[in-house]
Amino acid sequence: MRIIITGGAGFIGSAMIRFLVDKTDHDILNIDLLTYAGNLSNLNDIEISENYSFRKGDIADAIFVKEVFSNFQPDAIINFAAESHVDRSIDGPKQFIQTNILGTFTLLEESRRYLENHPKTRKNFRFMHISTDEVYGDLELNDSPFKEDNKYLPSSPYSSSKASSDHLVRAWNRTFEIPTLITNCSNNYGPFQFPEKLIPLVILNALDHKPIPIYGDGSQIRDWLFVDDHVKGIYSVLTKGMIGETYNIGGSNEFTNLSVVNLICEILDDLKPINSKKYRKYSELITFVADRAGHDKRYAIDSSKIAENLNWSPEETFSSGLKRTVEWYIKNIPWCESVMDGKYNLERLGKI
């Protein structure tokens, strides 16, 4: 199978490529604009693989996308390319509209043109769109986890842009019969995640003896999914999913933000005891700050559909996955320094 991965230099996209390249019956083309969160060093281990190639470009650039399709002639596209940080979407929503909505539209339109010119490809072609649980809004404590048929109630510029792109994918499936699939996932974590996200931010601030910021009282609840489990779920949908369907992929690991931060601090206390005259434990670095505007209370994913229909379930527990993640960041501080490169210094974003 010849697969285009968009956003393949990012956190989840690069994990997907590392997973797919090992399956030598796939040829992978990675297209990525290499914005702040895209880093080709995520793919150092596989960059010389014969079944992998890379093109730098913008998914919203129709001329570039047409050239890529014409030259590579894909059997599938997996669209990871997206602006994805809520705080950044509050600071500057325009780029989220450009990439997440216009970029998805451009990929869909080129897929439509491509399939019109290659009708024999249509039967096995797959346009797979990777989305988020945030399109559903948030949940109260006693609410059931999100199912695929939940109403869309996005709260932030980020989640509204992803909701819009999901709707485009469904419309192109129904109107133009593009063979599409959508996945909505819970919060991912693991190695190679850009340090603006909660778990790597906490790890790096703690190791640097900087304050660990907690929005509000830290009671917001998220469902955590180890990135390697996520990409295996995506592959299950790609290869076995029913065209036109949506599949929710979650980790069934609901924790408050404060609990997650305390767990990270405990792991660090064990793996790399704090070397400071001022602090005895990493948890003493926790600092409560003003809450994010429009902060969703709780996300939780019901993964029963993908479990029952495609036989997927997460392999990593939150405890084991979090320990693996902390260990990786401790061992890879140079990677963290290189990806930040002066453009992001662990500061808070999204203030209004």
What is the set of active-site residues?
133-134, 158
In a 13 Å sphere around the CA of 250, the CA atoms on its Cβ side amount to: 21
Identify the residue whose tokens are 């997907």: 16
Structure tokens at 198: 């909660």
Rounded-to-integer distance, Cα 115 and Cα 122, Å: 6
How many angstroms separate the Cα of 227 from the Cα of each of 188, 268, 291? 6, 21, 27
H or E, element range at 136: none
Rounded-to-integer distance, Cα 18 and Cα 142, Å: 38
Interacting residues of 123 by C-beta distance below 8 A, sequence separation 6+: none
What count of other Cβ atoms lies within 10 Å of the Cβ of residue 335? 18
Enumerate the β-bridge partners of residue 52: 28
Closest CA to 264 of 341, 322, 313: 322
Rounded-to-integer distance, Cα 177 and Cα 222, Å: 35
